[in-house]
Amino acid sequence: MSNSFKKSINLGLGLLMYSREKVEELVEELIDKGEVAKKDAREFADDLVRRGEEQKEELKKLIQGEVIKALDNVNVARKEDLVRTGEIREIVREQIQQAFREQGFIKNEDVK
C-alpha cells in the first residue's frame, strides 16, 4: 500500500477520532448549560460514537474492496498468491535431485 494512501486513511481515522472528541465536548457543554439531561446527553453521545464506529468499519471494508479491485486490474500478486522463498528452494532442490537421479549421478538411497 502506498505511503500517501496510508496517510489518507490515517487522516480519515484521525478526523473520526477528532469528531468523537468534539461530540464529547459538545455534550459536556450542553450538560453544563443545563440544556439537556446528563443521561440523555450520554445516550446521544454514545449513539453518535457507535454509529461513527459502524461507519468507520463500513468505510474500511469499502476501501479494502476497492484496493483489491485495483490490484486485480493491474495484475499485482497479493501476499496469499506468492510462493515463499523456502517453498521455492524445496521445489528447486527436488527438481535438481530428480535430474541427477535421471542422469545417474546419484542413487535414490544417496538422497536424504
- pLDDT tens by residue, 76-91: 777 777 777 788 889 9
Residue extents of the structural domains in the chain:
3-81, 82-112
C-alpha cell at 70: 485495483
Q: Are 52 and 9 in contact (CB under 8 A)?
A: no
Which is nearest to 56 in space by CA: 4, 22, 9, 5? 9
Give, in order, the Cα–Cα distances in Å from 18 to each of 12, 22, 26, 55, 74.
Answer: 10, 6, 12, 15, 35
Greater confidence (59 vs 11) lies with 59
How far is the C-alpha of 18 from the C-alpha of 25, rounded, in Å?
11
The reported pTM is 0.43
Cell digits for 97?
535431485
Sequence-distant (6+) residues with CB within 8 A of 76 are none
Output the pLDDT for position 94.
92
pLDDT for 25-45, tens place per residue? 777 887 888 877 877 777 877
